[in-house]
Amino acid sequence: MQRSFSIELPSLVPLQLPSRMETHLWYILPNEVKSTSLLKQYSQFLSPSEKDKVVQMKGNKLKKNALLARILVRTTIARYQTNYVVDPRSLMFKKNLYGKPEVDWQNQKNCNNPPLHFNLSHTDSLIACGVTVHVPVGIDVEDKERKIKHNVLSLAKRFYSTDEVSFLSTIPDLKVQRKQFIKLWTLKEAYVKALGKGFSAAPFNTFTIHLKAGTEGGYNLCKTSEVNSLEETKKCNGEWKFAVLELADSHYAAICIEDDLASGGAPMKVIVRKTIPFVEDELISESKLL
Amino acid sequence: MATSFTSSISMQPRFSQATTTRFSLQKPVPVFKTNLSFTLRPRSMPARLAISCAAKQETVEKVSEIVKKQLSLSQDQKVTAGTKFTDLGADSLDTVEIVMGLEEEFGITMAEERAKEIATVQQAAELIEELVLEKTA
List, in order of start, the domains of chain A with CATH numbers.
22-289 (3.90.470.20)
Has residue B61 been placed in a domain?
yes
- For residue B51, what pLDDT band results from cuts at 50, 70 and 90? very low
CA nearest to A200 within chain B? B113
What local confidence, expressed as pLDDT, does residue B36 receive? Answer: 40
Residue B45 pLDDT exceeds 60 = no
β-sheet bridge partners, residue A245: A253, A289
Whether B94 is a known active-site residue: answer no
What is the number of other CB atoms lying within 10 angstroms of the CB of residue B120? 26
B14 touches chain A (CB under 8 A): no
Q: In what order do the strands lie in the sheet with A240-247?
A: A137-143, A251-258, A240-247
**Which residue type is seen at A193?**
K
Name the residue among B42, B83, B113 with its Cβ closest to that of A200. Answer: B113
CB contact under 8 A, A62 and B88: yes
What local confidence, expressed as pLDDT, does residue A4 receive? Answer: 41
**Which residue type is seen at B79?**
V
Has residue B19 been placed in a domain?
no
A25 or A113, greater pLDDT: A25
- Closest CA relative to residue A130, chosen from A228, A256, A285: A256
What is the domain-level CATH number for residue B104? 1.10.1200.10
- CA A175 to CA A288: how far, in whole Å? 20
Look over chain A and give the mean of its residue pLDDT values, rounded to a whole number: 87
Give whole-number Cα distances, A235 to A78, A106, A274, in Å: 39, 39, 37
**Residues ≥6 apart with Cβ < 8 Å to A264:** none
ipTM of the complex: 0.80
Does this model's pTM top 0.90? My answer is: no
Residue A190 pLDDT exceeds 50 = yes
CB contact under 8 A, B116 and A154: no
**Residues ≥6 apart with Cβ < 8 Å to A15:** A24, A79, A80, A82
For B62, list phi and psi in degrees, rounded to 5: -65, -40
Has residue B23 been placed in a domain?
no
B47 or B124, greater pLDDT: B124
Query: ∠ at Cα A196 (A258, A165), nearest 5°?
Result: 80
Q: Which of A19-28, A119-128, A279-288, B35-44 has maximum average pLDDT?
A: A119-128
Per mean pLDDT, which range of A57-61, A262-266, B34-38 is the poorest?
A: B34-38
- For residue B134, what pLDDT band results from cuts at 50, 70 and 90? confident
Has residue B120 been placed in a domain?
yes
For A163, list phi and psi in degrees, rounded to 5: -65, -40
Query: ∠ at Cα A99 (A268, B43), nearest 5°?
Result: 125
**B28 interaction partners in chain A (CB closer than 8 Å):** none
Has residue B10 been placed in a domain?
no
What's the alpha-carbon Rg for chain A, to the nearest Å? Answer: 20
Number of structural domains, chain B?
1
Residue B26 pLDDT exceeds 70 = no
Q: Which residues of A249-269 are buried (b: 16+ CB within 10 A; e: fewer)?
A: eebbbbbbbbbeeebeeebbb
CB contact under 8 A, B101 and A149: yes
What local confidence, expressed as pLDDT, does residue A224 receive? Answer: 77
Name the residue among B70, B100, B116 with its Cβ closest to that of A155. Answer: B100
List the domain range (segments joined by +) for residue B105: 57-135
B90 touches chain A (CB under 8 A): no
A142 touches chain B (CB under 8 A): yes
- For residue A198, what pLDDT band results from cuts at 50, 70 and 90? confident
pLDDT digits (tens, 9 = 90+) for A223-272: 876 555 566 667 777 789 999 999 999 999 999 999 877 766 778 889 99
Has residue B98 been placed in a domain?
yes
Has residue B29 been placed in a domain?
no
Has residue B118 been placed in a domain?
yes
- For residue A14, what pLDDT band results from cuts at 50, 70 and 90? confident
CA dihedral of B107, B113, B114, B117, whole degrees rounded to 10: 130
**Which residue type is seen at A225?**
S
Rounded to an integer, the average pLDDT of A144-156 is: 93
A201 touches chain B (CB under 8 A): no
Question: Which one from B76, B87, B91, B94 is the annotated catalytic residue?
Answer: B91
Query: Of B112, B113, B121, which to mutate for an interface test with A (greatest number of A Cβ within 10 Å)?
Result: B112
Residue B21 pLDDT exceeds 50 = no
β-sheet bridge partners, residue A133: A116
Residue A217 pLDDT exceeds 60 = no
What is the number of other CB atoms lying within 10 angstroms of the CB of residue A61? 14
Axis-axis angle for helices A60-79, A36-43 (nearest 10): 60
CB contact under 8 A, A58 and B97: no
What local confidence, expressed as pLDDT, does residue A221 receive? Answer: 86
